C-alpha cells in the first residue's frame, strides 16, 4: 500500500496562532488527498478533500477560512489551522485513496491549543 507521512506528529500552540500540518505521499502520486478530524474516543470525520492544483472541497459545517488546505504537488498537501482556539484541539489525519478504493492514512497530528 501507499506510504503517507504526516508532520508534525504533535504540536502545541497558543490561542490565536496558526499551525501548519504537512501530509506527504512517499511512494504514490496523489491527485486527491483527504483530511479527517478525530475527537477523543470518537470516529473520524471527513473535513475536506484536497485536490492537486485546485481548491479543496469542504464538507458541510467545516469552516473554509479556518482550515486552509493547499495541495501544491502530487505528493504534498497541507492543512493550516488559522487563529487556533482550544476547541480546535484534536487529532488530524490525512489520507489518500489507493487503486482498490481503500484509504491509506498518515500517522496523524495531535494539535493542542492552549
Partner 1 sequence: AQSVTQLGSHVSVSEGALVLLRCNYSSSVPPYLFWYVQYPNQGLQLLLKYTSAATLVKGINGFEAEFKKSETSFHLTKPSAHMSDAAEYFCAVSGGGSNYKLTFGKGTLLTVNP
- Output 53 or 100, the one with its CB closest to partner 1: 100
- Residue at grid coordinates 502520486: 29
With CA atoms as reference, report the closest residue to 85 among 112, 47, 64, 113.
113
Give the single-character DSSP code of 87. Answer: G
The residue whose grid cell reads 506510504 is 3
Output the CA–CA distances (angstroms, integers) from residue 48 to 1, 13, 55, in the order listed.
22, 23, 10
Total residues contacting partner 1 by CB under 8 A comes to: 26
**x/- track of binding to partner 1 for residues 7-46 (CB under 8 A):** --x----------------------x-x------xxxx-x
Establish if 76 lies at the interface with partner 1 (CB under 8 A): no
Binding site for partner 1 (CB under 8 A): 1, 4, 6, 9, 32, 34, 41-44, 46, 49, 91, 93, 95, 97, 100-108, 110
Amino acid at each position: 500500500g501507499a506510504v503517507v507521512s504526516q508532520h508534525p506528529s504533535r504540536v502545541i500552540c497558543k490561542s490565536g496562532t496558526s499551525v501548519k500540518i504537512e501530509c506527504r505521499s512517499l511512494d504514490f502520486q496523489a491527485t486527491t488527498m483527504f483530511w479527517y478530524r478525530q475527537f477523543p474516543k470518537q470516529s473520524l470525520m471527513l473535513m475536506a478533500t484536497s485536490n492537486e492544483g485546485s481548491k479543496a472541497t469542504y464538507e458541510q459545517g467545516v469552516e473554509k477560512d479556518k482550515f486552509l488546505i493547499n495541495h501544491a504537488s502530487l505528493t504534498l498537501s497541507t492543512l493550516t489551522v488559522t487563529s487556533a482556539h482550544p476547541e480546535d484541539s484534536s487529532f488530524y489525519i490525512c489520507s489518500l485513496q489507493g487503486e482498490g478504493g481503500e484509504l491509506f492514512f498518515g500517522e496523524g497530528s495531535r494539535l493542542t491549543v492552549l
